[in-house]
Amino acid sequence: MSDSEEDSQDKQLKIVVIGDGASGKTSLATRFAQEAFGKQYKQTIGLDFFLKRITLPGNMNVTLQVWDIGGQSIGGKMLDKYVYGAQVPTPWGLCVEEQLTSLRH
Ligand SMILES: Nc1nc2c(ncn2[C@@H]2O[C@H](COP(=O)(O)OP(=O)(O)O)[C@@H](O)[C@H]2O)c(=O)[nH]1
Ligand SMILES: [Mg+2]
């Protein structure tokens, strides 16, 4: 079986990372998908996109799409379109109250 055939059998999961600017969304996504961490801050304009293939117990392959949304998109018209179809919308800073406050507005 070729790689592309194997890929087509992967279950795809969409994860959307949402939160204020400079709260660490891109760092989290980069660390997760590329196992890298950058100390320099570079604002995400619009959207960044990462893919990571993982194997779950039972040899089930899953391709995770991580959508890293620029902080300025919160409250913007595109947000609902970005979040559409996500299995895992992650309000980044779930445990950080001020981030949740921003998301509520
Ligand atoms: N010390 C520390 N710095 C972090 C952490 N996460 C992100 N940063 C830094 O915070 C800044 C903003 O991070 P970034 O991921 O670009 O934020 P984003 O705007 O939410 O995507 C960058 O300079 C990162 O290096 C963390 O867990 N610890
Ligand atoms: Mg960013």
Residue 51's pLDDT is 92
46 Cβ inside 6 Å of ligand 1: no
Distance CA 60, CA 19 (A): 30
Verify whether ligand 1 is closer than 6 Å to residue 19 (CB atom).
yes
Give 9-26 pLDDT, tens digit per residue.
778 888 888 888 888 889
Q: How is residue 105 annotated by DSSP?
A: -
Q: pTM of the prediction?
A: 0.77
Nearest atom, ligand 1, residue 39 CA = 25
Q: What is the pLDDT of residue 90?
A: 63
* % of the chain beyond a pLDDT of 70: 75
Counting as low any pLDDT under 70, the low residues of the chain are 1-8, 88-105
Residue nearest to atom 13 of ligand 1 (CA): 24
Q: Is the CB of 38 under 6 A from ligand 1?
A: yes
| Long-range CB contact pairs, 94-103, < 8 A, 24+ | 96/23, 98/20, 99/19, 99/20, 99/23, 102/19, 102/20, 102/74, 103/18, 103/19, 103/74
The reply to whether ligand 1 has any atom less than 6 angstroms from the CB of 74 is no
